[in-house]
C-alpha cells in the first residue's frame, strides 16, 4: 500500500495553527480558518478567523482582520480585531479598529484607534460583495447569474 493509503494517515485537525516561519516571506492575501502565527514577513491582506500572533521575529505590512491579535513583533497598516494585545516587544504603526486594546510595558503603538463598530461594511459594499458571490456561484454551477 502507498504512503497515502492505509490506516497510518494523519487526520486533519481543525484547531491547528498555521505558521509562517522565520525566513519566509509572503505577499498577497492570506486567509486562515483558525489560528495563524507569523515568525517571518507578510505583506498584504491577512484574515485569520480566531487568532493571529506576530512573534518577535515577525513583521506584517498591510491589513489584518481577526478575532484576537497578539503582537510581539512589528505591524504597520490597518487592523480590525475584537481584541488587540501588544506585548513588551510589540510595535504597531497605523490604524486599529477595536474596543479592547491592551499594551504591555515596553510595547509601542503609534497611530489612531477607532471603535470596533466602525468596521461594519457599508450596505452598498455588502450588496456588491453579494453580487460578486452570485456571479461566482453561477460560474461554478453553469446557471445564469442571479440578478
Asked if 52 and 82 sit in the same domain, the reply is yes
Does residue 129 share a domain with residue 60?
Answer: no
C-alpha 77/C-alpha 72 separation (Å) is: 16
**How many domains does the structure of the chain reveal?**
2
Q: Is residue 65 part of a domain?
A: yes
83 and 28 belong to one structural domain: yes
C-alpha cell at 3: 504512503
Average pLDDT over residues 59-78: 97
Range of the domain at 134: 120-147
Same domain, 23 and 39: yes
**Residue 69 forms part of a structural domain:** yes
* Residue 9 or 70, more confident: 70
What pTM does this model have? Answer: 0.71
Percent of the chain with pLDDT over 70: 69
Q: Three-state DSSP class for 7?
A: coil
Contacts of 131 by beta carbon, 8 Å cutoff, 6+ apart: none
Amino acid at each position: 500500500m502507498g504512503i497515502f493509503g492505509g490506516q497510518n494517515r494523519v487526520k486533519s485537525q481543525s484547531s491547528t495553527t498555521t505558521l509562517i516561519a522565520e525566513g519566509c516571506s509572503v505577499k498577497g492575501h492570506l486567509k486562515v480558518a483558525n489560528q495563524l502565527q507569523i515568525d517571518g514577513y507578510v505583506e498584504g491582506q491577512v484574515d485569520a478567523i480566531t487568532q493571529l500572533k506576530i512573534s518577535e521575529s515577525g513583521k506584517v505590512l498591510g491589513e489584518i482582520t481577526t478575532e484576537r491579535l497578539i503582537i510581539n513583533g512589528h505591524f504597520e497598516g490597518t487592523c480590525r480585531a475584537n481584541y488587540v494585545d501588544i506585548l513588551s516587544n510589540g510595535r504597531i504603526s497605523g490604524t486599529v479598529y477595536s474596543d479592547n486594546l491592551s499594551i504591555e510595558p515596553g510595547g509601542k503603538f503609534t497611530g489612531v484607534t477607532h471603535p470596533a463598530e466602525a468596521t461594519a461594511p457599508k450596505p452598498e459594499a455588502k450588496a456588491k460583495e453579494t453580487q460578486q458571490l452570485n456571479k461566482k456561484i453561477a460560474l461554478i454551477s453553469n446557471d445564469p447569474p442571479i440578478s
